[in-house]
Structure 1
Amino acid sequence: MIEMRRLTPQDSMQARMLWLDAFPEDGDGFCDYYFARLFPQDQYYGLFEQGKLQSMVGVCRQKIHFLGKLLQVGFLRGVATWKSEQGKGYSSRVMEYVLRDLKKQNVPAAALKTYIHSFYRKFGFEVCSYRCWHEVRENSPLTGMEFYDRVEQVPECILEGICACYRDYTADKDFFLERDSAYYRLMLTEALELYDGILAVHTNEMQRIDGYLIGFAEKESGKFRADELVCLETMHPQDFGGVAEKFNCSMLVYKAFDEREQADGMIRILDMVYFLRQKEQGVISEKGQIQVKDSLFTENNGWWQTDMNQLNSQPSKELSPGEAAVWLMESNGRQAGIFEEY
């Protein structure tokens, strides 16, 4: 007998065993951290067969800014199926169950980070962000920088300053996550406590944070790897080059989202009415229209009017719900910001 339902605390042991089977690389400590800190606050869904958890999908609620609107998004993570049970369609069944449940809860969109984009396109997702890695070899002076290697050392005023820096950085972006000081404290707990990472903060003459870096010394490569590096106009990534030398590394490498080097995050609209904040669906004859074909939610099918700035073109084909979201963003000629979730 197969049952699909939300997981309860009593299912956590089965979920942990499934996680380690699907992601054995997380046996280095991340699994323990995740199930102690993050799993209880996420909502997981599972497919059970004869009482055994065979496949699961987790959802973390986040808020994103999309073309000037603040929307709630269901971030999917922990998508896992026992290796011995793969190929039976379990993941697909759970995925569809999760998306339908999110829509019932009036969540307008779902998103995720993944390496297997073709699988999620079957459910209407489309790539919405790209990442790349840049190198910095200069050993710039570290004037005005402070360093933290323990999360309890980071005062609230620094967290608030980082939030202000992030808001300024994303001011010209059309697609990015909403963040606050609690978000950054959670992010730093993982980076500093679990991975022995470093937070580097630069303060300018006006005593405002205009750049920060979160990363760690990578022993295998001898490089300092920054998973996040944010600079305002007064700073440049090269200004953090001296961090590598400080921590006995050959160079600084940092993740960026300014080039289409590697497909990264994906998004899917769940409810066109709610996402576009329209009262009803209708055939539109003027420019600014999009035609959507959704195999999962037929109520999303048809022509939709958009009011997100001035769109100068129309797509030449029917769009999946994920393609519709990406087209709306790209038609405005602007870019995605940081697309990370913790």
Structure 2
Amino acid sequence: MEIRQLQLEDFEASLGLSEYAFQFKLNGDDRVKSKRKFKPERVWGIFEEGELSAELTLLPLQVYVQGKAVSMGGIAGVATWPENRRQGLVAKLLSHTLQTMNESGHTLSFLHPFLIPFYRRFGWEIYCEYKKYTIPVGKFPRKAEMEGRVERDKANIEVMEQLYGRFASGYNGTLLRDREWWENSVVDEDTHHCVFYSAAGEPGGYVLYKIENKELVIDEFIFMDEEARRGLWTFLANHDSMVTAAKLNLVPADDMLPFLLPDPRIPQENYPYFMARIVNAKAFVEGLTFKEQSELQKRMLYIEDEHAPWNEGLWEWKVNQQGEASLIQVKDTGEQADLRCGIGTLTVLLLGYKHPEELHRCGQLSGSLEAVEWLKGIMPQARTALFDFF
């Protein structure tokens, strides 16, 4: 058995496995385009007797954490032939990929799970969720008088890039999008966009949407302030003679729209979305900013992480008066730990998806109440989201 990056000549084998596993078929021009975009160095495979048995794609991406860019390894396209399943091949690929990400400086890894319990075994944990709304036309937000204006299908990507960056950087775990990502994964010829401009001509928000089956399908609704939100909704409400409802996808979990509607009783869904995992605990913790302290604070933390042994063990966690942290490994059995948790729990704790007291209450974080209160006292408030898919 050999684990290696794919080469250009492995394209057909890789595509064949993906077509079978994900039940699609590329023909003609689509197959040519796929080969042209194929980046074999991003795909890792397990080969047995020269045949590709399993594969995954490792995407070098960046995400916002505390408004700053953090290097993240995105895992996608995990596939195995059915005759090779339940033989531990994906487990071997994941372990190898963790090592690769650590050596490459990725401190986080994200993936969209086909089965959450499977990836939890390897340290990934749900870190965000999204809402979906279906709003009948009769329950749309009220139209508002606007001093600004909305322009449809006229803005260039730069305008939306800037608005997205300002909005997304307020959440932990949102993707930093480069131009290639915008062009290949966000906008397409079937998607409309509209941008709200204030009376002073400043862009304040945008919506990406389609009109399908007499419904507005809204894939992204980004706004900087209440004026922009109302202006964009007034534009959308002007479709009332064309559509019967609006469907909003990938809405952040902290969104307040239903509360603001004239009648909040609309179909709503909360959906656990992507999973995250700290790849290197020391690097990730030391890259965060915690609450300022009156004096140097420290506790002992034991991290359980059998699949990334460089994280496993007892650590002295210090936070100084400026909120700067250090994580220093200590040679000990862990009996002196003030706090103890698995790497998945630590991930969702530090990203802000779950809070120390609730993780402690449900048994995911162990330690004294005093230590949990200490942790609560150093953690800044945060919220998580993701508006993309890979």
The TM-score normalised by the length of structure 1 is 0.79
Aligned to 1:174: 172
Give the whole-Å Cα distance in 1 for the aligned partners of 2:210 and 2:317. 46
Which deviations, in whole Å up to 9, do the C-alpha atoms of 1:247-298 show, x marking residues without a partner? x4322211212259211111111112222238xxxxxx94566431111122
Tell me if structure 1 keeps the 8 A contact 2:17–2:81. yes
Q: Distance between the aligned counterparts of 1:180 and 1:49, measured in 2?
A: 37
Q: 1:93 and 2:56 equivalent?
A: no
Secondary structure of 1:161's partner? helix
CA distance in structure 2 between the partners assigned to 1:166 and 1:4 by the alignment: 38
- The answer on whether the counterparts of 2:11 and 2:35 sit within 8 Å (CA) in structure 1 is no
1:241 is matched with 236
Aligned to 1:225: 217
Indicate the residue corresponding to 1:9 in structure 2. 8
Alpha-carbon displacement from aligned partner over 1:60-96 (angstroms, at most 9, x marks no partner)? 1111121344211111111111234322222222121
Work out the CA distance in 2 between the residues paired with 1:38 and 1:73: 21
Partner of 1:112: 111
Preserved CA contact (<8 Å) 1:310 1:332: no
Identity of aligned residues (%): 19
> 1:146 is matched by which residue type in structure 2?
E
Match of 1:252 in 2: 246
Q: What are the superposed Cα offsets for residues 283-342 of structure 1, whole Å, 9 maximum, x if unpaired?
A: xx945664311111222122252659599xxx9852222321211122422201434256
How far apart are the structure 2 equivalents of 1:299 and 1:168? 35
Moved more, 201-210 or 45-54: 201-210
* Structure 1 unmatched ranges of 5 or more: 149-153, 279-284
2:273 to 244, 251, 264: 264
1:145 aligned to 2:150?
yes
3-state secondary structure, aligned to 1:303: strand
**Equivalent position to 1:186, from 174, 184, 187:** 184
SS of corresponding position for 2:167: helix
CA distance in 1, matches of 2:298, 2:121: 29
What SS does structure 1 have at the residue aligned with 2:158?
helix
Verify: 1:305 aligned to 2:317, yes or no.
Answer: yes
Q: What is the RMSD computed on CA atoms of the aligned residues?
A: 3.4
When normalised by structure 2's length, the TM-score is: 0.71
Alpha-carbon distance in 2 for matches of 1:105, 1:171 = 24
Is the 1:20–1:31 contact (alpha carbons within 8 Å) kept by the matching residues of 2? no
How far apart, in 2, do the equivalents of 1:145 and 1:41 lie? 43
Q: Secondary structure of 1:205's partner?
A: coil
Equivalent pairs, count? 318
Give the number of the structure whose alpha-carbon radius of gyration is greater: 2
The residue type paired with residue 237 of structure 2 is G
1:127 CA displacement: 1.0
Question: Where in structure 2 are the equivalents of 1:11-50 lying within 5 Å?
Answer: 11-25=10-24, 32=31, 35-36=34-35, 38-40=37-39, 43-50=42-49
1:151 maps to none
Paired residues of 1:16 and 1:31 also in contact (CA < 8 A) = no
Aligned partners of 2:65, 2:198: CA distance in 1, in Å? 30
- Which residue type is aligned with residue 238 of structure 1? W
CA distance in 2, matches of 1:181, 1:329: 26
CA contact (8 A) 1:290 1:324 kept: no
Counterparts of 2:66 and 2:58, CA distance in 1: 23
Q: 1:128 Cα shift?
A: 0.9
Structure 2 vs 1, CA of residues 25 and 17 (structure 1 numbering), >3 Å: closer, same or farther?
closer
Contact 2:301–2:338 (8 Å) recurs in 1: no
What residue identity is the alignment partner of 2:176? Answer: E
1:318 is paired with a residue of what secondary structure? strand
The answer (yes or no) to whether the contact 2:219–2:248 under 8 Å persists in 1 is yes
Note the C-alpha offset of 1:240: 5.1
Counterpart of 1:163 (choices 148, 161, 169) is: 161
**Is 2:320 the partner of 1:326?**
no
Aligned to 1:235, the other structure's residue is in SS state: helix
